[in-house]
Amino acid sequence: MNSVTPQGRLTVMTQDGPNRGAAVPGGQPSGLDIVLVTGLSGAGRSTAAKCLEDLGYFVVDNLPPALITTMVELGSTSSGGVTRLAVVVDVRSRAFSSDLTGTLIDLDERGYRPKVLFLQARDDVLIRRFESVRRAHPLQGEGRLSDGIAAERSVLTDLAGVADVIVDTSDLNVHQLRATIELAFGAEFVPSLKATVMSFGYKYGLPLDADLVADVRFLPNPHWLPELRPLTGQNPEVRAYVLGQETAGEFLDCYMEILRITGTGYQREGKRYLTLAVGCTGGKHRSVAISEELAARLTAEGVHTTVVHRDLGRE
């Protein structure tokens, strides 16, 4: 059994559980990577599922154990459409737990080697989490919250014993849990930041979904040049005029540095999507040209970037 403790705060235990078949020589059939996510209610299954989805897994939530093998077989015959599959299993009875154990053995015999991610937490932490959202435990019944937790912990004892990765989330925040999941399952896949660069006109209002807003109204306005007025920032003439301003180059260089710092921080905090709004008066000339240039620079640095011109054509 190995322990992984990045920064001294995250605890992950990996083990080869009993009654699990050995991996088939040559790897999984069709190269399918399978993760089964289970564990105690309130321990972070939903967060783990979202993280695995960001890592490129096709995630299925609350799938009964009897249907897992069918889902895996469908994934293996998808002709490369599905290469990573994660199934979140909510186990709330001993029969359900036994079914899942039998499913794991069945998958092994078919040549698959699913990894089991088991999430747990201390009773006091689980109680605090349930009370904070004013929810009853699914196994609580007419008893106390602690009774429901104890019942579920008893049901899941055998599953914890066959888990490949056990994560105790008691002292982890959302970002630390995400980092733990990425460490365990994302060694070959590091999710990159995706950016949308949106030009807009201030006279039409600020974009409500913008994470960052850049105001480029400090640049000379091509609107006041008769030969450029009917054109847009997508035309070479306007682009050359806007980007040819000395302050434009300084702005682009400085703002790219801001985006590098921001992007690194976003990824560290688990945020994978960034919307940058670039505004000028009407959203026709300056903001369009600057947006196109910023998008090109971001793309050159490996950021998957989409350009949207919200107000182009509205004038």
The pair of three-digit structure tokens given for residue 166, joined into one six-digit string: 């056990």
Mean pLDDT (the chain, rounded): 83
Least Cα distance to 211 among 270, 285, 263, 283 occurs for 263
Question: Are 168 and 120 within 8 A, CB to CB?
Answer: yes
Q: Which of 150, 185, 220 is the last residue of a domain?
A: 185
Q: Which of 161, 185, 209 is the last residue of a domain?
A: 185
- What is the residue range of 287's domain? 194-309
Q: Which of 125, 159, 185 is the last residue of a domain?
A: 185
Q: Is residue 166 part of a domain?
A: yes
- CA dist list (Å): 206 to 199, 210, 211, 213, 308: 10, 8, 11, 9, 14
Question: Are 272 and 191 within 8 A, CB to CB?
Answer: yes
Q: For 1-49, how does the pLDDT look when each residue is reduced to its tens digit (9 = 90+)?
A: 333 333 333 344 444 444 443 333 344 555 788 899 999 998 999 999 9
Same domain (yes/no): 155, 229: no
Rounded (10°) angle between helices 123-132 and 145-155: 130
Question: Are 294 and 242 within 8 A, CB to CB?
Answer: no
Same domain (yes/no): 237, 258: yes
Task: Kindly calculate the radius of gyration of the chain based on its CA atoms and give it in whole angstroms.
Answer: 26
Q: Does 203 score more than 90 pLDDT? A: yes
Q: Is residue 315 part of a domain?
A: no
Whose tokens are 């300056």? That residue is 286
> For the residues 67-91, what does the mean pLDDT come to?
83
Q: Residue 132 belongs to a domain with what CATH number?
A: 3.40.50.300
Same domain (yes/no): 179, 202: no
Same domain (yes/no): 92, 130: yes
In Å, the largest CA–CA distance within the chain is: 79
Same domain (yes/no): 104, 246: no
Q: For 160-181, how does the pLDDT look when each residue is reduced to its tens digit (9 = 90+)?
A: 888 888 888 988 888 888 878 8
Cα gap 72→286, rounded to integer Å: 51
Q: Report the number of distinct structural domains present in the chain.
A: 2
